[in-house]
Amino acid sequence: MSAVPELSGPVRAALQAGRPVVALESTIISHGLPRPDNLAAARSFEEMLTGAGVTPATIAVVDGVPKAGLGEADLERIALDESVVKVGGRDLAMAMAARRTAGTTVAATSLLAARAGIRVFATGGLGGVHRGFAESPDESGDLTVLSRTAITVVSAGVKSILDIPATLERLETLGVAVAGYRTNRFPAFYLTDSGQDLDWRLDSPQEIATVMAARDLLREESALLVANPLPPDRQLDPELHDRVLAESLAAAGAAGIRGKAVTPFLLGYMRRATGGVSVAVNMDVVRGNVALAAQIATAWSERGAG
Ligand code: PSU
Ligand code: MN
C-alpha cells in the first residue's frame, strides 16, 4: 500500500512548493448536510479555496484508500452514495482493511491531514461532550485525536447540541489550545456566543501563523482550535434554536439513538424542525471557517516556514 493518505496531484504539488493548502472534512458532506444539495455544498467549499488561491484537500476514504484531495467522481460518491459510512480516527484502519468508502470526521480528517503535512483544516463545529453525560457518557473522539494531533482547526467552536462548558473543560485537560478569532467568547456553532469566556484571542491570520510557529518551536503535538463565530446577524434565532434543540434532544432520547448516530440525528432533527433554516446557517458557518482557514494557510505559506 502506498503512503497514507494518497495525495491528489494538485495537493502534492502545492505541498511540495510550500503553497497554501486547506484540509476539508467529509462527514459533514456524507452525514451532516442533506442530499443532494450536499454535493453542491462540497464543491462550493472547494471553489471558495481555489478562488482564494488555496488548494483544497477534501479528505475521505474511497474503497479503503484514505485520500487527501478528491476527484469529481470521489466527491460525488461521498455525497450521494447511501452506503458511505462515518469514520472517526479509531475506525480508519478497519475501513481501509474492509475497503469501505467513508466520510471522515474531524478526528479522522485531522489525523490524515497531519500525516500529509497539511497544517490548516476547516470544519463547521467540532464534536465534544454531549449533554446528559452523567447518565450516558458520550464524548466525541474528535477531542482525543485533537489532543495528540498537531494541526490548526478552524471551527465555530463545538456544536450547540453539546454540553459546551464541559467540552471546554475537556479541551483544557486534553491540552488542546483554544483561541477566539476576534472575540473573547467561545462561539456555539449555530449561535454566535456560547456565553463562555476564552483566555486567548487572535485578531489576524498573521497572528495565528505566529502562534503556529511558536507551537512548532515547542514541538506541540496537540491541536490549535481557532474558534470563529458567525456574525450575530447570520446566527440561528437563539429562541428558535433553544426550543428546537430541546425537542431534538427529547426525540433522540425517546428514539434511543446512541453512538455515532447521535450527531447526525440531532442535526437532521434540527433541519426538519427549522424548515431547513439550520442547514442554511450550517452552510454559513462552514463558509466563514473555510474563508478564514484560507487566510491562515496563506499567512503560513508567506512565512516560508513550510
Ligand atoms: N460540523 C458540521 N457538521 C457535521 C460535523 C461537523 O457542521 O456533521 C461532523 C464532524 O465530522 C464531526 C462529527 O467530527 O460531526 C462529530 O460526530 P461525533 O459527535 O459522533 O463524534
Ligand atoms: Mn459520540
Tens of pLDDT, residue by residue over 172-213, are: 999 999 999 999 999 999 999 999 999 999 999 999 999 999
CATH number of residue 195's parent domain: 3.40.1790.10
Catalytically active residues are 25, 159
* Cα of 303 from ligand 1 centre, angstroms: 31
Structural domain count of the chain: 2
Ligand 1, CB within 6 Å, residue ranges: 25, 27-28, 31-32, 105-107, 123-125, 127, 140-142, 260, 263, 267, 282, 286
- Whether residues 106 and 194 fall in one domain: no
- Please state, as a whole number, how many other Cβ atoms lie within 10 Å of the Cβ of residue 160: 22
Confidence band of 305 (pLDDT split at 50, 70, 90): low
* Cα of 126 from ligand 1 centre, angstroms: 6
Please indicate, yes or no, whether the overall pTM of this predicted structure exceeds 0.95.
Answer: yes
* Cα of 140 from ligand 2 centre, angstroms: 5
Confidence band of 304 (pLDDT split at 50, 70, 90): confident
Write out the residue range of the structural domain in which residue 157 sits: 120-306
Ligand 1 atom closest to residue 26's alpha carbon, by position in its atom list: 11
State the average pLDDT over residues 90-103: 98
Query: Which residues share a beta bridge with 154?
Result: 122, 226
State the average pLDDT over residues 253-271: 95
- Whether residues 24 and 137 fall in one domain: no
Report pLDDT digits (tens) over 43-95.
999 999 999 999 999 999 999 999 999 999 999 999 999 999 999 999 999 99
Mutate which of 24, 106, 145 for ligand 1? The one with the most ligand atoms within 8 Å of its CB, which is: 106
Query: Are the C-beta atoms of 276 and 210 separated by less than 8 Å?
Result: no
- Whether residues 130 and 109 fall in one domain: no
- Whether residues 144 and 253 fall in one domain: yes
- Whether residues 56 and 144 fall in one domain: no
Q: Compute the distance between CA of residue 84 and CA of residue 78 in angstroms, rounded to an integer.
A: 6
Domain boundary among the residues 58, 91, 118 is at 118
